[in-house]
Amino acid sequence: MTLLSTPRTLPGVDQDRSAAGKRCPRRGGAKIKRRSGSGVGSIPSRRNSNSNPTLLFPSHSTQQPIMTLTKVNFITGNKNKLTEVRAILGSVIEVDNQEVDVPEIQGTIEEIAKEKAKRAAEAINGPALTEDTALEFHALKGLPGPYIKSFMESLGHEGLNKMLDGFEDRGAEAVCTFAFCRGPGEEPIIFQGRTVGKIVRPRGPTNFGWDPIFEYEGQTYAEMDKEAKNKISHRYKALVKFQKWLAEGQQ
């Protein structure tokens, strides 16, 4: 994460470490890979169409941000998520990537997200942004929820549908939880977005997890144009909260 020189530094953030997080020695046995590259320009058409500068520097606000982030280290091994995050954040901030292999705990969505960010920050010895996606089935009282990845990998689109065939309610909620941890020993901050839809038989391209079976207003995520999806998706809603927090001085 690169910080421009500012009158104040971000509490808990060592600028040298955060700028050079990717160069830190491997710690705690965590495997660290890095994909470099800026979201800026990767989808130039989004610069104008999706740029939302008022979020980063609110014109209605006289408050000046404490600092300007020009690059964020997003911890993920999922190229599709990285592409989607760059599509949403790429017009206002460079999204760098590190892949850190940390075990996830069992628990609530929030407990899992916070623990993951803590461990990632320890592994890279600097600020870490992590993302967790959950898919809550209303009929299953929120499950598989944070365990959706295992269920998707084991059952696929048809199996996930069959799990609901015994119930009337096919409602579901896509939940994205970003957790930002300033560094080792710091308490992570949560940014969560939710989109309500329903589980349907697969429609659309099948290259992105459960997108083909999650329907929102008549279209599955997989059927949507990427720009359209990025304006309503659970991930976009969470990222908007993250942008807003950045713009308002991380208070």
Note the residues at the interface with a second copy (CB under 8 A). Answer: 103-107, 112, 115, 139-143, 146-147, 150-151, 154-155, 159, 161-167
Report whether 60 belongs to an annotated binding site. Answer: no
Our CB check for a second copy shows the closer of 164 and 222 to be 164
Is 114 or 235 the residue whose CB approaches a second copy more closely?
A: 114
Query: Does residue 234 have a known ligand-binding role?
Result: yes
Between 65 and 142, CB nearer to a second copy: 142
Nearer to a second copy, 60 or 141 (CB): 141
Residue 50 marked ligand-binding: no
Give dist(CA 63, CA 126) in Å, integer. 27
Shortest Å distance, C-beta 213 to a second copy: 14
User: Was 230 annotated as part of a binding site?
Assistant: no
Q: For residues 151 and 180, which CB has a smaller minimum distance to a second copy in the complex? A: 151
Q: At closest approach, how far in Å is the CB of 17 from a second copy?
A: 26
Which one, 94 or 136, has the nearer CB to a second copy? 136
Tokens of 230: 């990025």
**Least distance in angstroms from the C-beta of 175 to a second copy:** 16
Number of Cβ within a 10 Å radius of residue 218:
7
Neighbours of 238 (CB within 10 A): 25
Cβ atoms of residues 40 and 91 within 8 Å: yes
Q: Are strands 128-137 and 69-75 parallel, antiparallel or unpaired?
A: parallel
Q: Any idea which residue has 């939880």 for tokens? A: 177
Question: Is 116 assigned a ligand-binding role in the annotation?
Answer: yes
What is d(CA 113, CA 192) in angstroms, rounded to the nearest whole number?
A: 10
Least spacing, CB of residue 16 vs a second copy, in Å? 31
Phi and psi dihedrals of 185, rounded to 5?
A: 85, -5
Number of Cβ within 10 Å of residue 45's Cβ equals: 9
Q: Please, what is the minimum distance in Å from the beta carbon of residue 138 to a second copy? A: 11
CB of 237 to a second copy, least distance (A): 25
100-133 in b/e form (b: 16+ CB < 10 A) is bebeeeeeebeebbbbbbbbbbbbbbbbbbbbbb
Query: Residue 138 annotated as binding?
Result: no
Known binding residues: 76-81, 104, 116, 132-133, 208-211, 229, 234-235
Known binding residues for Mg(2+): 104, 132
